[in-house]
Chain A
Amino acid sequence: MTAVSETGVLAVQATQVCKSYRRGVPVLTDVSLDVAPDQVLVLIGASGSGKSTMLRCIAGLETIDSGRISVLGQVVQDVGASGHTSRSSGGFRKGYREVGMVFQQFNLFPHMTALENITLSPRVTRAIPTLDARKSAIELLASVGLAGHETKYPGELSGGQQQRVAIARALALKPKVMLFDEVTSALDPELVGEVLIVMRRLAEGGMTMIVVTHEMAFAREVADRVVYMDAGRIVEDGTPEELFTRPTHQRTQAFLRRIESR
């Protein structure tokens, strides 16, 4: 696993990202994270450790207080020490186009069928003709194991099925980087597997992925790299092998013990 692809462009590059919520409570403190293309990175940590916030900053759902985030070499957020936001090189939105995100609560559009959920953005933001959008949406649904569910509404699907539609919806925009924010946490235990299978296949297909999860087995088997966050900082960063079998930091050890004793 190399840190940089042949072209030398990182999939995601976060440099000294700081963010605090109102009343000055810091959520991210000097977080720097380089993610190489094709890498599958799993972010772990206790709730409130800042891992979801980090993901949301990369997706553009949160603004950062200082630091810089680039996606595939395009700067998406760049805030100097003075708090001034620079949107130079016109990359502010362009970089976000390469990022897909899947949420814990699926966030499907309940008034649209599975197919309409997937085709909406390609049709209206990329001007893809409806027929072409439908054709690729049908293929995408089949690829997540949901052939035949095209005309079902989210309310007619199980949680696992809804989450797979949400993954297909994100993939319809052909992102280069996929972000997964605790995507199995809201699912009944027996439905977790079907979503993880889809994610595993995506990883094997060479997708760059940043995954926030509590599924340690998934991290162990699929991740190229595991990052442990605590109190808004990256505490430990290594291969699954390194992190799970010989964590160097006390806090990582304590966290893993807590997770395993559950």
Chain B
Amino acid sequence: MNYKWDWGIVFTSDTFNPLLIGLEFTLGVSVICLVLGNILGLAAAMGRLYAWKPLGILVYVYVDFFRTTPALVQLIWIFYVLPIVTGIDFGPVEAGIIALSLNAGAFLAEIYRGGLQSIGAAQREASHVLGLSRIQTLRYVVFPQAFRRVLPAITNVLISLLKDTSLLSVIAVSEITYQITNRVAATYRPLELYTALAVVYFVITYPISLGAGALERRLRLPGM
């Protein structure tokens, strides 16, 4: 291999400064989508399980549409087509947040639904004879148990979500992939810069995996 590596290009302020700005976008968008996606996912799961039938069907359509189309296509569609269809104008960051939240929400909806359904009738019956209302049963009995079961699956979605923010580079959101791509155009050093980018993604993603593992251990029930 005759390629002459030049790692110096990574460790310059011309790479570092845009990368830091990019990190703000990457992490900021991730956190917002994480919160919105979870709210959406939980609401969708409850809607499908407990709400009025037509609402459940609507949820079903949403979930299946967003699970069976690529996130990139959803993003582009929401950025370019949705403003024309609705007449509402929004910027690339907003479009990115909408698309990734809806996408994560669809996957989380199915995970939460499975988790809630996995808590059997016996637990609800015990709650019923103890006089707990349906909401109290969900809050104190079903949800804490369901959450323990779905935690590993939720972690996967969160990790995917964080990595999927790289898609926002195609609609010019200044997150880290966009910043690095710009740097590549200026320096013609894709090998070094994209390797560095991969390392940055690993460094911000791996703690989620570690944190989730620690939380799982903490929530593990003795004797189970």
Is B136 part of the contact surface with A, judged by Cβ < 8 Å?
yes
B122 is an interface residue with CB less than 8 A from chain A: yes
Query: Given A111-B144, A154-B223, A155-B221, is A173 in contact with B130 using a C-beta cutoff of 8 Å?
Result: yes
Q: Given the known A-B contacts A97-B131, A121-B130, A125-B136, are A109 and B125 also in contact in the complex, defined by CB atoms under 8 Å?
A: no
Contact A121 B132 (CB under 8 A): yes
Q: How far is the CB of A241 from chain B (nearest CB, A)?
A: 32
Cβ contacts under 8 Å, B131 to chain A = 93, 96-97, 121, 125, 173
Is the Cβ of B140 less than 8 Å from the Cβ of A124?
Answer: yes
Distance, CA A111 to CA B221, complexed state (A): 6
Instruction: Indicate if the CB atoms of A99 and B141 lie closer than 8 Å.
Output: no
Distance from B132 Cβ to chain A, minimum over Cβ atoms (Å)? 6
Contacts of A101 in B (CB 8 A): 129
Distance in Å from the Cβ of B124 to the closest Cβ of chain A?
9
Let me know if A110 and B136 touch, CB within 8 A: no
Question: When the two chains form the complex, which single residue of A59, A110, A173 contacts B221, counting CB atoms closer than 8 Å?
Answer: A110
Q: Tell whether A139 is near chain B: CB-to-CB under 8 Å.
A: no
In this complex, the interface size class of chain B, counting residues with CB under 8 Å from chain A, is: 20 to 34
Residues of A within 8 A of B145 (CB): 109-111
Question: Quick check: B129 and A120 within 8 Å, CB to CB?
Answer: no
Q: Which residue from chain B places its CB closest to the CB of A166 in the assembled complex? A: B126
Query: Per a CB cutoff under 8 Å, which of A99, A103, A152 touches B122?
Result: A103
At the interface, yes or no: B222 with Cβ under 8 Å from chain A? yes
In the complex where A61-B128, A97-B131 touch, is A107 in contact with B122 (Cβ < 8 A)?
yes
A60 within 8 A of B: yes
Q: Chain A residues near B123: list those with CB within 8 A.
A: 107, 109
Cα distance A262–B132 in the bound complex, in angstroms: 40
A109 x B136 contact (CB < 8 A): no
| Chain B CB within 8 A of A156 CB | yes
Does B144 lie within 8 Å of A99, measured CB to CB? no
Chain B neighbourhood of A97, CB < 8 A: 131
Which of B122, B130, B141, B148 makes the CB contact (< 8 A) with A125? Answer: B130
Residue pair B148, A111 in contact (C-beta under 8 Å): yes
B130, A120: Cβ atoms closer than 8 Å: yes
A59 to B123, CA, bound (A): 15
Q: B84 interface residue, CB < 8 Å from A?
A: no
A133-172 CB mask vs B (1 if < 8 Å, else 0) is 0000000000000000000111111000000000001100
Q: Which residues of B contact A153 (CB under 8 A)?
A: 221-224
Rounded to whole Å, the gap between the CB of B56 and the closest CB of chain A is 21
Q: Which residue of chain A is the closest to B144 with respect to CB atoms?
A: A111
From B125, B129, B140, name the one whose CB has the most chain A CB atoms within 10 angstroms: B129
Chain A residue contacts of B133, Cβ below 8 A: 125
Which residues of A are found within 8 Å of B122, using beta-carbon distances?
Answer: 103, 105, 107
Please give the distance in Å from A174's CB to the nearest CB on chain B: 12
- Asked if A100 is at the interface of the complex by the 8 Å CB criterion, the answer is yes
Q: Which residues of B have CB within 8 Å of A108?
A: 126
How far is the CB of A54 from the nearest CB of chain B, in Å? Answer: 15
Q: Which of A204-239 contact B (CB under 8 A)?
A: none
Known: A103-B122, A111-B145. A60 touches B128 (CB 8 A): yes
Interface 0/1 of B111-133, CB less than 8 Å to A: 00000000000110110111111
Chain A, residues 28-67, CB within 8 Å of chain B (1/0): the string is 0000000000000000000000000000000111000000
Interface contacts beyond A59-B129, A96-B131: sample of 16 additional A-B pairs, CB < 8 Å, sorted by A: A60-B128, A61-B125, A61-B128, A97-B131, A107-B123, A108-B126, A109-B145, A110-B224, A111-B145, A111-B148, A120-B140, A124-B140, A153-B222, A153-B223, A153-B224, A155-B223
15 residue pairs from A and B, CB less than 8 Å apart:
A101-B129, A103-B125, A109-B123, A109-B141, A111-B145, A111-B221, A120-B140, A121-B130, A121-B131, A124-B132, A125-B136, A152-B223, A153-B224, A156-B222, A170-B130
